[in-house]
Amino acid sequence: MRLETSIQSIATHVEALNQRFENKRAEEVMRFCLTAPQFGQTALVSSFGAESVVLLHMLSEIDKSAPVIFIDTRMLFRETLAYQTEVAALLGLTGVRHIQPDLVATLLRDSENLLHRADTDACCALRKTEPLHKALVPFNAWISGRKRFQGNARSNLTYFENENDQRIKINPLAHWSRAEVSAYIDAHSLPRHPLVAKGFKSIGCAPCTTKVERFEDDRAGRWRDQSKVECGIHFSPSGMAERANAEAASVIVSDTGFAADDWQGGFQSLESALGQTGADATVLAVDLPNTAEAQALLPRLHEIDMIRIDFPSFADGRGFSLAQQLRALGFDGRLRAKGHVISDQYAMARRSGFDEVEIDQALARRQPQEQWQFRRDWRQHDYRQQLFQPA
């Protein structure tokens, strides 16, 4: 019996499955999904990456002939290709399907293999998302290795998901910790991907994967310096819109850590703020370039609730000087630094008079909260103490 594919039945089935397996082990979820007749055809999609061997081993213990979809983007590390061969042979997997991007489409859209430099989303669509969608057509469900501890959009994963009203996605390791993954690999004497020992915690295509530093999350090395954390295979069209909205949101750094931006009043340019007069004046917040003259704001300084100063380059210190001047002139509102400010400069920002720093999602992934909090002990050089302490 095949799984019903109507929107209502998939959604209802997913909800019931999550309730049924709420306290079950990953192995039980895997066995059920690979053997229960109501699922029809189920495939494991595996990158043969840093932690893939856990699910591959579980599958081998249940059915060595079960379908395993391996997407060879033609841009993978040599180590990944060798590891895939090694693991498949070791576990006796006979159902591995090697999927590659369409050759004609690749020649038309990326004949020089340089698309990733101009448009990573387009490259992932060509080499990974589109081939996977074609490969999944015969299947009613598929198994992924995503986990909550990987952060970002994965933080609230459940065992079962309704994938765009087309099929069920299964995440058997959703609740596992990093330590549990490592313990399983050790307990079963499974080989690790050779790049893990070199500092790679999440492994994708070679041009878009880098090592991860101590303070960074596991996926910080994927598409580094870009507002991108997923290749796209885990997003439906609505999910892609959600991702775009999430990536557009700024992260506000203060002494208490990371937070969403709570300022809803919008920002005006310096010229707009100074041009308002009389009863129509509605100055709330002003955006300033770091080249602005602090004195220019004096006529309206005490009417402004927030000033945001742009940092076009982390090596340009004029924003710090402008903040100090504004505080010396008596500005006591909220002062925010925005742009190319890195965690090493947080103490300097606070000493200069900034209350907070606004960073983008990409920087927040590369330099997570712990890295900024490490530098929050700036008070011994507080600008207020220096400027206003009694003589």
The arithmetic mean of pLDDT across residues 113-123, rounded, is 86
Q: Is pLDDT above 90 for 171? A: yes
> What confidence tens digit (pLDDT) does each residue in 30-71 have?
999 999 887 778 999 999 998 999 999 999 999 999 999 999
- Answer whether residue 281 shows pLDDT above 60: no
pTM of the model: 0.61
Q: Which residue among the candidates 123, 205, 208, 231 is catalytic per the annotation? A: 231
**DSSP reduced 3-state for 161:** strand
Strand partners, 169: 142, 161
> What are the backbone angles phi and psi of residue 78, rounded to the nearest 5°?
-60, -35
**Would the pLDDT of 384 be above 50?**
no
Query: pLDDT band at 153, cuts 50/70/90?
Result: low
Instruction: State mean pLDDT over 189-205.
Output: 91
CA distance 75 to 87: 20
Q: What DSSP assignment string belongs to 258-294?
A: EEE----S--EEHHHHHH--GGG----EEEE-TT--G
* All structural domains of the chain: 7-248 (3.40.50.620), 251-388 (3.20.20.70)
> What average pLDDT is seen over the chain?
84
pLDDT for res 334: 94
pLDDT digits (tens, 9 = 90+) for 203-257: 999 998 888 877 677 777 787 766 566 665 554 444 444 454 555 678 999 999 9
Residue whose C-alpha is closest to residue 226's, from 63, 35, 39, 360: 360
In whole angstroms, what is the distance from residue 81 CA to residue 83 CA?
5
- pLDDT of 25 > 60? The answer is yes
Q: How much is the pLDDT for 374?
A: 80
Distances (CA, A) of 377 to 126, 179, 348: 47, 31, 11
Tokens 């192995």 correspond to 27
For position 4, what pLDDT does the model report?
A: 45
State whether the Cα torsion 343-346-348-354 is positive or negative: positive
**Cβ-proximal residues to 352 (8 Å cutoff; 6+ apart), any chain:** 320, 321, 323, 324, 327, 383
Polymer length of the chain = 391
**Whole-number Å distance between alpha carbons of 293 and 61:** 70
- What are the tokens at 384? 């207020």
**205 catalytic residue (yes or no):** no
Give the pLDDT confidence score for residue 65 in this predicted structure: 96
- Cβ within 8 Å of residue 110, ≥6 positions away: 123, 126, 127
Q: Give per-residue pLDDT as tens, 310-367.
A: 998 767 789 999 999 999 999 999 999 998 888 889 999 999 999 999 998 778 877 8
In this structure, the number of other CB atoms found within 10 A of the CB of residue 324 comes to 18
The predicted structure's pLDDT at residue 2: 46
